[in-house]
Amino acid sequence: MQEALFCQALGLSAPWAVERVALDVQRSRIDLYVAWHGSSAPCPACTAAEQKLHDHRQRSWRHLDFFQFEAYVHCSLPRVACSVCGHTSQLSVPWAREGSRFTLMFEALALTLAREMPVAACARILRCADNALWRQIDAHVGLAREQESYADVTCIGMDETRCAKGHSYLTVVHDLARSRLIHATAGKDASTVQRFAADFKSHQGRPEAIEVVCMDMSKAFIAGVGQHLPQAAIAFDGFHVVQLANKAVDAVRREEVRSERWLKNTR
């Protein structure tokens, strides 16, 4: 009965099945052993049906905690020798992303927490290494970005921000019409615009369709936009325009206070 219960909890269907459940109270751990019940399987490479199994490879995945117990899924995964395409490929599993050592349910919880708190805090709550969580975040962000389309982006904002102590900077680009971040890259020189344009084209965007770039008065950004976004008009953001105007007015005040004493203390 318990095997059937955990089989339903993992969302498994034949020929996948939970064969055994092992609870270790001393180690606060529960292990679920899953098996493929079949002598053949579809080829993972070309999807040809009813191909012979070549061998099995043992794999393990961290799952969501079961009450206070850490839970792990184990499976001796079949490899399929395909007579059609000639490849020997390992079956994909329905409970985990390919290449991951965590189940999809665990990764879903980790990503939900990571949106609300630092990754180091998530790692403490989930009792795993923060590097493992960063790899999950990188993988899912990459998968999500592959689906992004920037075909309708015509107005962008570009700015740099310090990302660490010293002189380490990131250049970030926003789609101003939809208030979303669409690109981030290291540095703040003209090459950052080149890297943005290349990434923009890989997501169905057209650099020549950019009509307006809102940015500060960075000479590097101006040069980069002129070279890689040739049709775009440059709009300097209001904060920097007002900042320069204030500096200019104060410079004039400092010069004239020498002859116009009433200007003293009027900054």
Mean confidence (pLDDT) of the chain = 92
What is residue 80's predicted lDDT score, i.e. its pLDDT?
92
Mean pLDDT value of segment 90-106: 93
Dihedral sign (CA 207, 208, 211, 216): positive
Is the pLDDT confidence value at 231 over 80? yes
Instruction: Using CB atoms within 10 Å of the CB of residue 48, give its burial: 0 to 12 exposed, 13 to 18 middle, 19+ buried.
Output: middle
What is residue 237's predicted lDDT score, i.e. its pLDDT?
85
Mean pLDDT value of segment 243-256: 89
What is residue 239's predicted lDDT score, i.e. its pLDDT?
86
Dihedral sign (CA 240, 180, 196, 191): positive
Q: Assign 3-class secondary structure to 144-163.
A: HHHCCCCCCCCEEEEEEEEE
Angle of CA points 211, 191, 205, to nearest 5°: 40
Question: 176-181, long-range: CB within 8 Å, 24+ apart, which pairs?
Answer: 176/214, 177/153
CA 97, chain centre distance (Å): 15
* Token pair recorded at residue 224: 């980069």
The CA–CA distances, whole Å, from 224 to 114, 159, 166, 213 equal 34, 13, 24, 11
The CA–CA distances, whole Å, from 214 to 33, 175, 255 equal 56, 10, 33
How many CB atoms lie under 10 A from the CB of residue 31? 18
* DSSP secondary structure letter of residue 232: P
Q: What are phi and psi of 107, to 5 degrees?
A: -65, -35
What is residue 166's predicted lDDT score, i.e. its pLDDT?
72
The residues near 104 (Cβ < 8 Å, ≥ 6 apart) are: 95, 96, 97
pLDDT confidence band for 265 (50 / 70 / 90) = confident
Is the pLDDT confidence value at 120 over 90? yes
What is residue 183's predicted lDDT score, i.e. its pLDDT?
95
The percentage of residues in the chain with a pLDDT greater than 90, rounded to a whole number, is 70
- Assess contact for 136 and 102: CB atoms under 8 A: yes
pLDDT confidence band for 255 (50 / 70 / 90) = confident
pLDDT confidence band for 201 (50 / 70 / 90) = very high
Q: Which CATH number fits domain 155-236: 3.30.420.10, 2.30.40.10, 1.10.10.60, 3.30.565.10?
A: 3.30.420.10
pTM above 0.85, yes or no: no
- DSSP E strand stretches across the chain: 16-24, 29-36, 40-41, 51-66, 69-81, 88-90, 155-164, 168-175, 180-186, 212-215, 233-236
Mean pLDDT value of segment 235-241: 87
Q: Which residue has the higher pLDDT, 4 or 137?
A: 137
What is residue 232's predicted lDDT score, i.e. its pLDDT?
94
